Every structure is written in structure tokens, then in C-alpha cells.
């Protein structure tokens, strides 16, 4: 491993698995924080998540689709995202099925029973888990060959005993690659000692032999009050707690799913920086079913004076200056939802009144005249909302791209992830090439649509777009001239690195990464079979 250009040890390719007692315990935050802390020390580090279930995804430079959280962790590590960092991505399409993305490419839809490899009578299928484990281990080993350290993130809990036979992301990966494991517990939920002890005691002896310590996350208050419990936990398990991370508001990272904090405060709350101009701008984001890449609105929430909230009723749109219809993995299902809730009519009234609406990816598609879908929903020909002169046909192959162009006189970059192919039959173009040729999207009056995710992260375009929205909405709002979204994101990643550097036992973490699993970790009964 390399630290500031000097050798820490003669071995390269160390690794660590960050597991959690539950989903949302803070695995993504801790993984990103360790990556940023190591990167600042001059260590060549990469993130890794063998299997991710998320509707928030990203496109690498070579056109591979991976989880958005792994792209964020790559930014924390100061490396370019790669499909190697997230070889298996599951994108839910219903309660029972998901699209399987393998090494960056969609390979089909699969039920949970089919994915986890079981016959209809419950007997395990042969080969499925082994094939996937071989793939993810190969990707991890490739990263370890080219980096000093790889920080792996688990999924859910490693103590899901019903899924242990098919596990390739938690202890299954750790055992295959002999990775030391640190378990993160969220004390803000309560019961952190029971969660950490119970997680350990539910692991098989061979898995427990890899569990080297704990991290307590989201602590509020005096750490000295927690220390007696930490000592008792060590006495019962033989494992140390390697840090107590304080609760911090506004970390603003790209998580897997669920609405979380923005760069300037909690989305939908009043923790918004004062406006640069005389007025605020209110943005309502429709909480459509199977919402994907809601990170698109982070850049709006980062603007002083922009209030972003997520809504699911027509009444909540009444005072909105801009309504955003975000991406979705179920465009036809979202259309039905909009109509059932009266939101389709509310959007039509907004368009007729000249009040701004922005559709992104799936949201753009449902604003069009019609959708021909024999791929995602298999619903055939479906009428859209008719607010844009656009017809969409779903193709079997998925468009994955990192385009760039211009809009409103400003440079724009984004990324595309969609099956729908849009035929624009009128209106004005939205995004253009450097020569003025149309690239994507459509605008009619105050209704805008584009397939490009991430376009609002382009500072100049975002300001120009918000000025246009403010003018159409009659608001005396002026974007701040000095908001730099990329710089804000870097500040947040540094905050994650600070969390680890200031509140974790970094010496112990380095020893685990470099030297692997310590010998003699005791067994905590009863253990799983």
C-alpha cells in the first residue's frame, strides 16, 4: 500500500468489507468515507459492491450501467467509475421482478425466486449462485490487481439466514476472498447493541471468523455514556468497536434508494439557504412509482432559495413554480398513477396556464402523445399525457450514453439510461450539438422534456433554466452566480473522509486492509448452520 508516495507494506491489493446490521445503516457513507480518507493519504483505492438493488444508476465512460452509489464512491476514491465496481445491478420493476444488469449491460428480467436459484418446489437450482460468485470474485480480483486497496460494501444485512446459500455480496464474498469484515450499526434507530451482537451470533462459525469489528453510526450526544456498552459488547463478542461516527445533517450523497438529504439540507424542509434574489423558487417533484435517478434534483436543491419537495397529490402542486416529473422504471404504470390521483389533469392545467413543467427520462416519455411499450410493461400502445408532440417506442436494447451539448446558450453534460426511443414531431428543440443540430428533448411553451439525467449539474445551464422558470412563474428569483455543484459535491465527500479520519480507529482499519483477518476471533453462539 502507498501512503503519500512511501511504502506502507510490500503487498498491494488489500481489501475490507463494510457490512451493516440493516439496510440504510450507513454502509454507503462509511465506504465512501474510507475511500476518501485513503485517497487523501495517497492510497490507490477503489470501491466495490458485488450486487446492488437500486433504481438510481449511472453510466460509465465506456457505456456501462452501475449503481449511482458506486459512482459516488468512485468520486470519493478519485477514480473513474467502472463496471468492475458493481458487476451485478438489480433494478426492481415490481414487488417480485427486477431487471438484471450484469457487467454494465441489461441481460433480462428475472423473478426473485429465479434470481436466487430455486425451483418452484423450493429446491435450489445448481450453478446460478456459483456463476455469479465467480463473476464478482473475478471483478474484485481485477480491482485488487490494479489498486492498493478495495473497499467493498455489503447489502442489507449479512445475517439474512434465509439468503445465505445464495449470498454473493456479504459473507459469501468475504469468505470467497478472505476479506476482513466491519459491521456498521445505526444507533439512531435504537437497539444498536442487540443488532451488532445478534448479527454476529447469527453467522456461521466460518463467517464469524471474518468479522473483525464494529462501527457505530449516527450517534448523538456524549460518547463517554456509550463506552461502557462498547466494552461489554467487546467482552461478549471478542471484537472491538473501531469508531463511533456522529450524526451529521446534510451529507448529500447518492444513496441507493429512498429520499434522503440534499446538499443544502433535508429535501422538503425549510433548511434552505436564503435566496440570492428577492424571492424563493418552489419546485415540486412528483413521487411517481418506481422513481429512478431522483438525484437529478439534487442540483436544484443546492441552489440558494430553491425549495425542493416531493409530492403525490394535485393539491400540493398549487403553489409550485416548477413541477418535475422524474425518471421511472415503469412509465406506463406511472401514467396510470398520475391519472388515478388527478395529477394528469393538474399537469394539463399547468401547461395551459403557461406554468413550467420539466420531464426527465421516463417523465419526458409520459408527457408525450403516445407510448408503444412491448418491452417494459408489455402494454402495447398507450396514450400519453399529450403535452409534448413526442411519440415513444420502447426498444429491446437500452440506450446508455454520456452525451454533451448546449441548451439556452450554455454547455450541458448528462447521461442516458432508457429503453424508450423518442420521435419528436414538433415543438422546439431542447438540447443541441455545438453546431446547433438537435440532440435530445422537446419544448412547447413552458413544458420541457429530455432523456438526459444529470443535465442540471451543469452550472451555467442550470442558472439559465432557472431564470427562464422564474420569469414564466412570475417570481423575482435570481440564481446565485457562485454555486458550483461539483465543488459542493467535493466538499461533501471530504466531510465523509473527515468522519472516518476524526472518529474511527484508522490505525486498526489500515491493519485490517493491509494484513487481512486477525487470527483467533472467538465464536459467538449459537451461530447459523
Residues annotated as part of the active site: 361, 453
Burial class (CB in 10 A: 0-12, 13-18, 19+), 136: buried
Q: What is the dihedral of CA 351, 352, 355, 361, to 10 degrees?
A: 0
Cα distance between residue 438 and residue 428, in whole Å = 9
- How far CA 206 is from CA of 15, 172, 183, 439, in Å, comes to 18, 10, 16, 55
> How many C-beta neighbours within 10 Å does residue 392 have?
26
Instruction: Judge if the upstream peptide bond of residue 467 is cis by omega within 30 degrees of 0.
Output: no
Cell numbers at residue 263, please? 446538499
> Position of cell 421511472?
328
Question: Could you tell me which residues come within 8 angstroms of residue 493 by beta carbon, excluding any fewer than 6 positions away?
Answer: 32, 36, 72, 75, 76, 253
Cα distance between residue 80 and residue 103, in whole Å = 16
Identify the H or E element spanning 83. none
**Structural contact between residues 268 and 282, judged by C-beta atoms closer than 8 angstroms:** no
Cell numbers at residue 381, please? 400502445
**Structural contact between residues 155 and 53, judged by C-beta atoms closer than 8 angstroms:** yes
Identify the H or E element spanning 259. none
Strand ranges across the sheet with 404-407: 410-413, 404-407, 431-432, 438-440
> What's the helix, strand, coil split of the chain in %, to 5?
35, 30, 40
Amino acid at each position: 500500500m502507498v501512503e503519500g508516495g512511501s511504502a506502507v507494506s510490500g503487498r498491494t491489493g488489500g481489501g475490507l468489507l463494510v457490512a451493516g446490521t440493516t439496510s440504510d445503516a450507513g454502509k454507503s457513507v462509511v465506504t465512501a468515507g474510507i475511500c476518501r480518507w485513503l485517497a487523501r493519504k495517497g492510497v490507490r483505492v477503489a470501491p466495490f459492491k458485488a450486487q446492488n438493488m437500486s433504481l438510481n444508476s449511472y453510466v460509465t465512460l465506456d457505456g456501462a450501467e452501475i449503481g449511482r452509489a458506486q459512482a459516488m464512491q468512485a468520486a470519493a476514491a478519485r477514480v473513474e467509475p467502472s463496471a468492475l465496481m458493481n458487476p451485478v445491478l438489480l433494478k426492481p420493476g415490481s414487488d417480485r421482478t427486477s431487471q438484471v444488469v450484469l457487467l454494465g449491460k441489461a441481460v433480462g428480467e428475472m423473478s426473485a425466486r429465479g434470481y436466487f436459484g430455486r425451483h418452484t418446489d423450493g429446491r435450489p437450482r445448481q450453478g446460478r449462485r456459483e456463476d455469479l460468485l465467480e463473476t464478482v470474485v473475478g471483478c474484485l480480483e481485477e480491482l485488487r490487481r490494479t489498486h492498493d486497496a478495495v473497499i467493498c460494501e455489503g447489502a442489507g444485512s449479512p445475517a439474512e439466514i434465509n439468503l445465505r446459500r445464495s449470498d454473493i455480496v456479504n459473507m459469501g464474498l468475504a469468505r470467497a476472498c478472505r476479506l476482513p469484515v466491519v459491521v456498521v450499526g445505526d444507533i439512531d434507530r435504537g437497539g444498536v447493541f442487540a443488532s451488532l451482537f445478534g448479527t454476529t451470533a447469527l453467522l456461521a462459525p466460518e463467517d464469524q471468523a471474518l468479522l473483525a469489528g464494529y462501527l457505530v453510526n449516527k450517534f448523538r450526544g456524549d460518547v463517554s455514556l456509550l463506552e461502557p456498552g462498547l466494552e461489554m459488547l467487546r467482552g461478549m463478542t471478542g471484537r472491538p468497536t473501531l469508531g463511533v461516527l456522529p450524526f451529521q445533517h446534510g451529507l448529500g450523497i447518492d444513496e441507493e434508494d429512498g429520499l434522503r438529504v440534499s446538499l443544502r439540507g433535508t429535501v422538503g424542509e425549510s433548511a434552505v439557504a436564503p435566496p440570492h434574489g428577492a424571492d424563493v423558487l418552489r419546485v415540486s417533484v412528483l413521487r411517481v412509482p418506481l422513481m429512478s435517478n431522483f438525484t437529478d434534483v439534487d442540483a436544484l436543491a443546492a441552489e440558494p432559495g430553491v425549495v425542493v419537495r416531493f409530492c403525490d397529490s394535485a393539491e400540493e402542486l398549487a403553489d409550485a413554480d416548477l413541477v418535475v416529473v422524474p425518471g421511472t422504471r415503469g412509465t406506463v404504470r406511472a401514467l396510470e398513477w398520475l391519472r388515478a390521483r388527478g395529477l394528469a389533469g393538474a399537469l394539463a392545467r399547468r401547461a395551459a396556464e403557461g406554468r413550467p413543467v420539466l420531464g426527465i427520462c421516463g417523465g419526458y416519455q409520459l408527457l408525450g402523445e403516445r407510448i408503444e411499450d412491448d418491452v417494459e410493461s408489455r402494454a402495447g400502445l398507450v396514450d400519453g399525457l399529450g403535452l409534448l408532440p413526442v411519440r415513444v417506442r420502447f426498444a429491446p436494447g437500452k440506450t446508455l450514453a454520456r452525451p454533451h451539448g448546449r441548451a439556452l446558450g450554455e454547455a450541458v453534460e448528462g447521461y442516458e439510461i432508457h429503453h424508450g426511443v423518442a420521435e419528436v414531431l414538433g415543438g422546439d428543440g431542447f438540447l443541441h450539438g455545438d453546431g446547433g443540430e438537435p440532440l435530445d428533448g422537446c419544448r412547447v411553451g413552458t413544458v420541457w422534456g429530455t432523456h438526459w439525467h444529470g443535465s442540471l449539474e451543469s452550472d451555467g445551464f442550470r442558472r439559465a433554466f432557472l431564470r427562464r422558470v422564474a420569469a414564466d412563474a412570475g417570481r423575482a428569483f435570481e440564481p446565485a452566480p457562485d454555486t458550483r455543484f461539483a465543488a459542493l459535491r467535493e466538499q461533501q465527500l471530504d466531510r465523509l473522509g473527515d468522519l472516518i479520519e476524526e472518529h474511527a480507529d484508522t490505525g486498526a482499519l489500515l491493519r485490517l486492509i493491509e494484513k487481512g483477518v486477525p487470527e483467533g476471533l472467538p465464536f459467538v453462539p449459537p451461530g447459523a448452520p
